[in-house]
Amino acid sequence: MLLLHLSCSQVSCLRKELCGRSRLILHLLKHCHALGYDVGVKSTSKLPLTSAITLRTVTLRMLYVLYAVSLFSSAVLSAVSCFTRGLDLRKNNIDVLCPSDCPIWQFQVYGNVAYASLSSVCGAAVHRGVITSKGGPVRVQILPGQENYLAIYANGIQSQALARWSSSFSVSRPMSAALEAVGRPISTARPPTGKRPKKTVEKKSGNKDCKADIAFLIDGSYNIGQRRFNLQKNFVGKVAVMLGIGSEGPHVGVVQASEHPKTEFYLKNFTASKDVLFAIKEIGFKGGNSNTGKALKHTAQRFFTAENGVRKGIPKVIVVFIDGWPSDNLEEAGIVAREFGINVFIVSIAKPTPEELGMVQDIGFVEKAVCQNNGFFSYNIPTWFGTTKYVKPLVQKLCAHEQMLCSKTCYNSVNIAFLIDGSSSVGDSNFRLMLEFISNVAKSFEITDIGAKIAAVQFTYDQRTEFSFTDYVTKERVLSAVRGIRYMSGGTATGEAITYTTRNVFGPVRDGANKNFLVILTDGQSYDDVRGPAVSAHKAGITTFSIGIAWAPLEDLKDMASEPRETHTFFTREFMGLEQLVPDVVRGICRDFLDSKQ
């Protein structure tokens, strides 16, 4: 326990915030308490002023260290989602912050100690015992790939076995690194009068794991009033800082909703947290009716343009703050936002009481305005007072890219058909490895009724549609359907299979919004021509990846692949090697998707 003896005069001084050193110590103690240390305060007037403060167990220098650790943890950790995988991280060593209350039963974890990089980082951390389901900081170290990832049950998670994977990672607690960073001697002396210590300015590029273009639509109506308007600005400022704004991270802008919407600043205006924070503080209160629907429609139609700083392939987000209820209708504005591929979040504060419901134009305004009525896009804060604890959960939502169902990204705006060789040369066991490859690719995409779609066709001399794009609209049902595919056995007519798939599988969705991809898996020479059917598929707007195994001739693979052929053609000597190609195929699909949006 850390025990402090404070004289009555000092306690009075602290309350009036007039003494520097004592005030600093109290500030540090608050951080110690936040870090979980047992802090006690005892008041006494018998101690002389010079020895009134006695520290046991933790010295003043240690307080500085703990304070620095708390600042280090909040400033350096990169927020990730529950399902961010090791292969999604761009650094070999990185400290991340896992969110709380992740659904443990949905974690995909492969191995133990060294985890395959397609594992969930937060899932691996819970499995390893680094964190609990409440989340927390995790240090991730990227490792080489290995063989024989073991299936181990630990901490409520059953990891899965994997024969081989191209890269791995380990997880540990990052606290030791934080202590090293701040563990040097710290002087408590004031600098000489008239001289200011030199500051080392570190250029930060932003949180790369939280790329998003975000518009905060704040409430500037008479409903909220001047006082709560200022509290709202403070909250938005805290959210903006925690997001990790930067050139390679999230960009933010602000629109004020009242009688008429007013854009306070655009995405392109500021790319540093301190500048955004200053700009938010300078926003003045407008007043007027809370025409939130009008402001939401205005923001969806006019805010996210190239001239205003919107970026290609980055999720677009509008966070709408509503104090009470809107004066107009939000349903039409929500439809417009979804049509523009914008993820709308509603943050409601002080919901109407039962007595006030009669004054609300549309009780279901939240459900009709959000991107999707699944609970993820709505967020309730009971009051504007004491909102700090609501900052982190909102930031975690805004950084959860895989949940941005309304964004037009490669993960939720593609149709992927798998053309599977079912010829006799494959064999049943190798056919199962091809199905496993298909499942691993499909897991990377957000399969919903408005998102990514998966189809599968098996071919020999004949063709069989295993399932089409419209048959299954959830990831679980698609994976179940893949597992249920039965091996045909027969000859190899790849050209006819391409023609069949182009006409029967892609034909019904040719005019849809999703980009079309065909992934061909074959282990041998086709008995018919493949170039002509492949050219027809390309002309129909289908991007083709060809994957050859064993005896598949390279010439045929290149003839089937889209341009540039080198990046759309893959080959492995053994069927076991297919799993190593999963990240390359997923990246290739996303690369082509982004290129098509340029």
Class of domain 208-402: alpha beta
Please tell me whether residue 135 adopts helix, strand or coil conformation. strand
Q: State percent of the chain over pLDDT 90.
A: 49
pLDDT band at 36 (very low <50, low <70, confident <90, very high): very low
In the prediction, which pLDDT does 360 show? 64
Phi/psi of residue 565, nearest 5 degrees: -65, -30
Query: Do the domains 414-596 and 78-180 match in fold?
Result: no
| Beta partners for residue 164, in sequence order | 147
Give the N- to C-terminal CA distance of the chain in Å, as an integer.
60
For 503-562, the pLDDT digits (tens) are 999 999 988 888 999 999 999 999 999 999 999 999 999 999 999 999 999 999 999 999
Q: Which of 213, 236, 260 is nearest to 321 (CA)?
A: 236
Show me where the domains of the chain are located. 2-66, 78-180, 208-402, 414-596
Choice between 272 and 501, residue whose per-residue pLDDT is larger = 501
In the prediction, which pLDDT does 35 show? 41
For 335-353, the pLDDT digits (tens) are 888 878 899 999 988 776 6
Global confidence as pTM = 0.44
Burial 408-432 (b: 16+ CB within 10 A, else e): bbbbbbbbbbbbbbbbebbeeebbe
Q: Which of 77, 79, 78, 83 is nearest to 403 (CA)?
A: 83
CATH number corresponding to 78-180:
2.170.130.20
Position 16 pLDDT exceeds 50: no
CATH number corresponding to 414-596:
3.40.50.410
For 365-396, the pLDDT digits (tens) are 888 889 888 889 999 999 988 899 999 999 99
Q: Which of 122, 187, 113 is nearest to 148 (CA)?
A: 113
- Across 280-286, average pLDDT: 92
Token readout for 14 is: 């602290």
- 112: enclosing H helix or E strand: strand 111-112
For 305-339, the pLDDT digits (tens) are 988 999 876 889 999 998 877 878 888 898 888 87
Residues 6+ apart with CB under 8 A from 572: 547, 548, 549, 578, 580, 581
- Across 242-248, average pLDDT: 91
For 576-592, the pLDDT digits (tens) are 999 999 999 999 998 89
List, edge to edge, every strand of the sheet that includes 213-219. Answer: 262-265, 251-257, 213-219, 316-323, 342-349, 378-381
Position 199 pLDDT exceeds 90: no
Choice between 296 and 55, residue whose per-residue pLDDT is larger = 296
pLDDT band at 459 (very low <50, low <70, confident <90, very high): very high
